[in-house]
Chains A and B, each alone.
Chain A
Amino acid sequence: MKPFAYHQPDQIPDAAKLLTTIEDSKLVAGGMTLIPTLKQRLASPPALVDLSKLGSLKGITDDGATITIGAMTPHAVVAASKLVQTKIPGLAALASMIGDPAVRSRGTIGGSVANNDPAADYPAGVLGLGATVITSTREIAADKFFLGLFETALEPGEIITAIRFPVPLKAGYAKFKAPASRYALVGMFVAKFADAVRVAVTGAGPGVFRVPPMEAALSENFEPSAIAAIKIDNDGLTSDIHAEADYRAHLVTVMAKRAVDAALS
């Protein structure tokens, strides 16, 4: 790890100001991606801006038709939240499948969403539920937020403060874990609303994406059998030493069926 300055602001505007004034400075939330990167000397920001003193970024609130999760809320808190378990059990289940207990205790929803790792779990939940990313300056719809491999719509100095999730009629997450990392080799989030069904894929490609043919089929009939014959194209999917693109494409269908099963159970 190379030396860096460390800031721990207690106001969001102060944090934003530090980010914009110190070139190449980085936010640190739970640090579950950033700290290992620093330790391996793969990144050497001149300063870290730690969000842990920003109390307003923590906690889960029930807004009736939506629930809002503060950006600094750890995965373990979401997984154990009675509110989330009751209103969006699929999201609580997703949080319970991230990493390992240590990662779930430290890692945060805001950090995961801002990092937009192509195999992270939360992007599937955010996109699959059509959530809204609330930042220090604006609100961004999930469909406009994720822009590909580690890319998001966040502007320099913009800080995620919370994610607002609409409460679906049903939702489920099914994850096929990469054997070693336990990131999603393929993770499928399905959500049924009164007017629509959304299906989001993580792990299979360079970023989270939706599957319109599955959404259409499930809107007609929200059963695993409705999508059993829908195959997505291999093109653009990831191939690596663990799985080639055609296997990931196959798993999209298999795990989508299992996500629907989970939503129905």
Chain B
Amino acid sequence: MSNVIGIGASPKRKEDQRFLTGRGNYVSDIKRPGMTAGVFVRSPHGHAVLRGIDKAAALASPGVIAVLAGEDTAADKLGSLPCGWGISDAKGVPMKEPPFPMLAQGKVRFVGDMVAFVIAETPEQANAGAELLKIDYEVLPSVVGVLEAVRPGAPQLFDDVPNNICCDWELGDKAAVETAFRKAAHVAKLSLVNNRLIGNPMEPRAAIAEYEPGTDRFTLWTTSQFPHVVRFLMGALVLNIPQHKLRVVAPDVGGGFGVKQFHYGEEAVITWAAKRVKRPVKWVASRSEGYVSDRHGRDHVTEAELALDENGKFLAFRVNTLANMGGYLSTFGPNIPTNLYGPLLGGVYTTPAIYCNVKVVFTNTVPVDAYRGAGRPEATFVLERIVDVAASEMGIDRVEIRRRNMIPKEAYPYQTPVLVQYDCGDPMGCLDGALVAADVKDFGVRKAASASKGKFRGLGYSTYVEACGLAPSRFAGRLGARGGLYESATVRVHPTGQVTVMIGTHNHGQGHETTFAQIVSDKLGVAFENVDIVFGDTDRVQFGMGTYGSRSLVVGGAALSKATDKVIAKGKKIASHLLEAAEVDIHFESGKFSVAGTDRMKTFEEIAGAAYVPHNYPLEVLEPGLEEQAYYDPVNFTYPGGCHIAEVEVDPETGTVTLVNYTAVDDVGTVINPMIVEGQLHGGIVQGVGQALFENAVYDEGSGQLLSGSLMDYCMPRADHLPMMKVATHSTLCTHTPMGVKGCGEVGTIGSPAAVINAVVDALSHLGVTHVDMPATPNRIWRLLQNASLPVAAE
């Protein structure tokens, strides 16, 4: 059939028509009758006792309708913001889980902690009213770094969390690792910092809430990656609103990267407030507000040791990490540096024994949670860095040491010593492909050319694997998940044969409306333009866990594939009746149901029509209509991975690192839309390069002030920072997802930081440099060279 655009094609993205012509529908575009404006008043202190709030002057300010604070939420017996994961220490003792009030009660614990909500007729009046609030703080010393937070005598955030340690978590066989270290011919050691990041989606967070007294229903429009989860967490656990009385809509959302996959206190306050003031309430964050309230990412301090035999075979890997949680536990907070970190420390290698200890630590900073990659970039960075350190110390080529330890393609499925079992992969194939694509054999020529200009050139490798497609619910449940992680899809075939899909994932830049339409077009033989994808509305979509962890295609796409199969199965029954043939003899291909060995057939449209006009229809055994639903819970994670090769040039005079070449060969399983996959890889790589070279969230110890609190001081990667990238796929097909897909949303971010830093270290290795912390800023590189008392290149 014409206009079928199936799996493997690269049509232009359906959604771009509205985005590029300014017809998107974002939360801040939405206006409701009688809408009021809300402003959050946030703590200017990192740590303080909240002695009291005098609302009088604010309430008297023109246009101010209400001022709400923690005492009001307490009076209404509202719940604490819930954490979706409960982890435990080695003895099974659950993590410390202090309450996270939506508006501060008793104390504030980070700059940006919400203290009050001012509602007025206009945003200007709300701002003016907010400035008149008199808040009495008793300022306490702040602690912002994990090393400082666990020291005796450090400021304590919570009375019942000694040393600010939320959980002392571990994974792996500690004794086996110790035994292996005793036998090692060489032990490589590395101390590193994984820098704190701020996601900076282009669209700031925003929300509108409305209460309809006639139906006793609430509607919340919010910038969310998972509206159904917000409905559950907020309705069931915070505001005590029955699920059927709460609608959550996440319309077009301008980027998430994890920042929008949490239930935020702002959502709960606004929804609660809308009923109190009996009018819709709208809040749109400023960029500055986002910096101190959007959940941050990363922020680890790590000591790692790799034991090797005399041939450079890895015997054991030991990792001790302090992970920053910020001031409270966010939705996924404690899961990220533990369950999404430790199980990835095996990488693509056959390391037989691994032990990982993570101390999860509270500090006076914005809560830390998932940010693109979430735990897996941190694990990859530790592993891929220490492999380079070991290679350098043992005098083994960096590619060779990787080859000696890589899991061979034939050894899959491969059980790691850290819970996960990789179903398939070909890391050696990705490495070989990348070596060619990056023209590694002529690197020496390019290095000499750089040297002739007084520049140092370096090459860095990252051969990595990640766990995607979150997640098998049973597995996650054993690790502490408090919810399921399946996905659902409904395929609604209209009487005229067009298709509307209702799916529980959320599209905020990933191209789902295109990719999912291709799957349906391919499987049903329906024209690409005759498939619409509906998402982001709990009243329209049956259920869903949302989009994060590279799960949309892997889990949501699988549900969609299953639901589509059910449509075909029912269509065959209808066709069997209409064509007067046995059901087993009906074949469906290219949009036609035909009787095997004959030219008798019915089109997909004819079958759809018959299903809705059932005059000649087997009503005794088959319901009319053509709409099917499927839930899919994966049996395993998927394991995309690959090889990234970065090439940098360092100007020793200024310390500037320039990324001059970047090559990625990734195994993402089946590729539905190569253009979209390439775009995801580009974007992911850029975010990893951002972490490696530019981005750093810096707090002032003591005051808890965020020093990098705007785009003037927090450096996002820009187009002129980047070379043209060479991106290719070398796929093995996932053995357990319906289409063999593995997911591609995070691979770029996971593989790239280590590749870039390994390249920087390589460029400076002749000067004795063995490690560079991220971001490798000019100031940091220059200082490293100064401190090593090394000659700076001559004029």
Cα–Cα distance between A180 and B715 once the two chains are bound (Å): 4
In the assembled complex, which residues on chain A have CB atoms less than 8 Å from the CB atom of B698?
241
Count residues of chain B with CB under 8 A from any CB of chain A: 25
**In the complex, are the beta carbons of A254 and B694 less than 8 A apart?**
no
In the assembled complex, which residues on chain B have CB atoms less than 8 Å from the CB atom of A1?
124
Cα–Cα distance between A78 and B141 once the two chains are bound (Å): 50
Cα–Cα distance between A247 and B716 once the two chains are bound (Å): 22
**In the complex, are the beta carbons of A180 and B782 less than 8 A apart?**
no
- Shortest beta-carbon distance, B527 to chain A, in Å? 42
Q: Does A251 contact B (CB under 8 A)?
A: yes
> Of B275-283, B488-496, B614-622, B704-712, which binds chain A?
B704-712
Q: Does B779 contact A (CB under 8 A)?
A: yes
Residue of A nearest to B708 (CB): A241
Interface residues of A in 231-254 (CB under 8 A from B): 241-244, 247, 250-251, 254
Cα–Cα distance between A250 and B778 once the two chains are bound (Å): 12
**In the complex, are the beta carbons of B782 and A247 less than 8 A apart?**
yes
In the assembled complex, which residues on chain A have CB atoms less than 8 Å from the CB atom of B713?
180-181, 241-242
**In the complex, are the beta carbons of A180 and B711 less than 8 A apart?**
yes
Cα–Cα distance between A74 and B649 once the two chains are bound (Å): 35
Q: Does A179 contact B (CB under 8 A)?
A: yes
Q: Does A2 contact B (CB under 8 A)?
A: yes
Cα–Cα distance between A225 and B794 once the two chains are bound (Å): 10
Interface residues of A in 166-210 (CB under 8 A from B): 176, 179-181
Q: Does B714 contact A (CB under 8 A)?
A: yes
In the assembled complex, which residues on chain A have CB atoms less than 8 Å from the CB atom of B131?
41
Residue of A nearest to B130 (CB): A41
**In the complex, are the beta carbons of B779 and A247 less than 8 A apart?**
yes
Cα–Cα distance between A254 and B654 once the two chains are bound (Å): 7
Q: Which listed residue, B708, B714, B783, touches A247 by the CB 8 Å rule? A: B783
Residue of B nearest to A223 (CB): B795
**In the complex, are the beta carbons of B712 and A180 less than 8 A apart?**
yes
In the assembled complex, which residues on chain A have CB atoms less than 8 Å from the CB atom of B783?
244, 247
In the assembled complex, which residues on chain B have CB atoms less than 8 Å from the CB atom of A176?
654, 778
**In the complex, are the beta carbons of B653 and A254 less than 8 A apart?**
yes
Q: Does A149 contact B (CB under 8 A)?
A: no
Q: Does A40 contact B (CB under 8 A)?
A: yes
Residue of B nearest to A253 (CB): B653
In the assembled complex, which residues on chain B have CB atoms less than 8 Å from the CB atom of A241?
696, 698, 707-708, 713
**In the complex, are the beta carbons of A41 and B127 less than 8 A apart?**
yes
Q: Does B43 contact A (CB under 8 A)?
A: no
Q: Does B729 contact A (CB under 8 A)?
A: no
Q: Which listed residue, A181, A225, A243, touches B795 by the CB 8 Å rule? A: A225
Residue of A nearest to B775 (CB): A179
- Shortest beta-carbon distance, A225 to chain B, in Å? 6
Q: Does A224 contact B (CB under 8 A)?
A: yes
Q: Do A228 and B795 form a contact, CB below 8 Å, given A180-B712, A241-B698, A241-B707?
A: yes
Interface of B is mostly: loop
In the assembled complex, which residues on chain A have CB atoms less than 8 Å from the CB atom of B655?
247
Q: Does A257 contact B (CB under 8 A)?
A: yes
In the assembled complex, which residues on chain B have CB atoms less than 8 Å from the CB atom of A242?
713, 777, 779
Cα–Cα distance between A15 and B486 once the two chains are bound (Å): 67
Residue of B nearest to A180 (CB): B715
Cα–Cα distance between A254 and B785 once the two chains are bound (Å): 15
**In the complex, are the beta carbons of B654 and A2 less than 8 A apart?**
no
Residue of B nearest to A224 (CB): B795
**In the complex, are the beta carbons of A251 and B654 less than 8 A apart?**
yes
**In the complex, are the beta carbons of A243 and B779 less than 8 A apart?**
yes
Of listed A3, A244, A254, residue having the most chain B CB within 10 A: A254
Residue of A nearest to B131 (CB): A41
Count residues of chain A with CB under 8 A from any CB of chain B: 21
- Shortest beta-carbon distance, A142 to chain B, in Å? 27
In the assembled complex, which residues on chain A have CB atoms less than 8 Å from the CB atom of B777?
179, 242
- Shortest beta-carbon distance, A255 to chain B, in Å? 8
Q: Does B128 contact A (CB under 8 A)?
A: yes
In the assembled complex, which residues on chain B have CB atoms less than 8 Å from the CB atom of A247?
655, 778-779, 782-783
Interface residues of B in 644-664 (CB under 8 A from A): 653-655
- Shortest beta-carbon distance, A228 to chain B, in Å? 6
Q: Does B288 contact A (CB under 8 A)?
A: yes
- Shortest beta-carbon distance, A51 to chain B, in Å? 25
Residue of B nearest to A250 (CB): B782
0/1 interface trace, chain B 692-726, chain A, CB 8 Å (1 if under):
00101010000000011001111110000000000
Q: Do A179 and B653 form a contact, CB below 8 Å, given A225-B795, A228-B795, A257-B795?
A: no
Cα–Cα distance between A241 and B777 once the two chains are bound (Å): 11
In the assembled complex, which residues on chain B have CB atoms less than 8 Å from the CB atom of A244?
779, 783
In the assembled complex, which residues on chain A have CB atoms less than 8 Å from the CB atom of B795?
224-225, 228, 257
Cα–Cα distance between A1 and B712 once the two chains are bound (Å): 20
0/1 interface trace, chain A 1-39, chain B, CB 8 Å (1 if under):
111000000000000000000000000000000000000
Residue of B nearest to A176 (CB): B654
- Shortest beta-carbon distance, A185 to chain B, in Å? 8
0/1 interface trace, chain B 522-552, chain A, CB 8 Å (1 if under):
0000000000000000000000000000000
In the assembled complex, which residues on chain A have CB atoms less than 8 Å from the CB atom of B708?
180, 241
In the assembled complex, which residues on chain A have CB atoms less than 8 Å from the CB atom of B654?
176, 251, 254
Residue of A nearest to B716 (CB): A180
**In the complex, are the beta carbons of A40 and B288 less than 8 A apart?**
yes
In the assembled complex, which residues on chain B have CB atoms less than 8 Å from the CB atom of A225?
795
**In the complex, are the beta carbons of B715 and A179 less than 8 A apart?**
yes
In the assembled complex, which residues on chain B have CB atoms less than 8 Å from the CB atom of A179?
694, 715, 777-778
0/1 interface trace, chain B 163-194, chain A, CB 8 Å (1 if under):
00000000000000000000000000000000
Cα–Cα distance between A2 and B694 once the two chains are bound (Å): 35
In the assembled complex, which residues on chain B have CB atoms less than 8 Å from the CB atom of A181?
711-713
- Shortest beta-carbon distance, B791 to chain A, in Å? 14
In the assembled complex, which residues on chain B have CB atoms less than 8 Å from the CB atom of A2?
124, 128
Interface residues of B in 123-144 (CB under 8 A from A): 124, 127-128, 131
- Shortest beta-carbon distance, B701 to chain A, in Å? 12
Interface residues of B in 738-795 (CB under 8 A from A): 777-779, 782-783, 795
- Give the B-binding residues of A (Cβ under 8 A): 1-3, 40-41, 176, 179-181, 224-225, 228, 241-244, 247, 250-251, 254, 257
Given A243-B779, A254-B654, 8 other A-B residues pairs in contact with their CB atoms under 8 A: A2-B128, A41-B131, A179-B777, A181-B712, A225-B795, A241-B698, A242-B779, A254-B653
Give 10 pairs: A residue, B residue, CB < 8 Å, sorted on A: A41-B131, A176-B654, A179-B715, A180-B714, A181-B712, A241-B708, A242-B777, A243-B779, A244-B779, A247-B655
Q: Which 7 A-B pairs have the closest CB atoms?
A: A180-B715, A179-B715, A181-B712, A243-B779, A241-B698, A254-B653, A241-B707
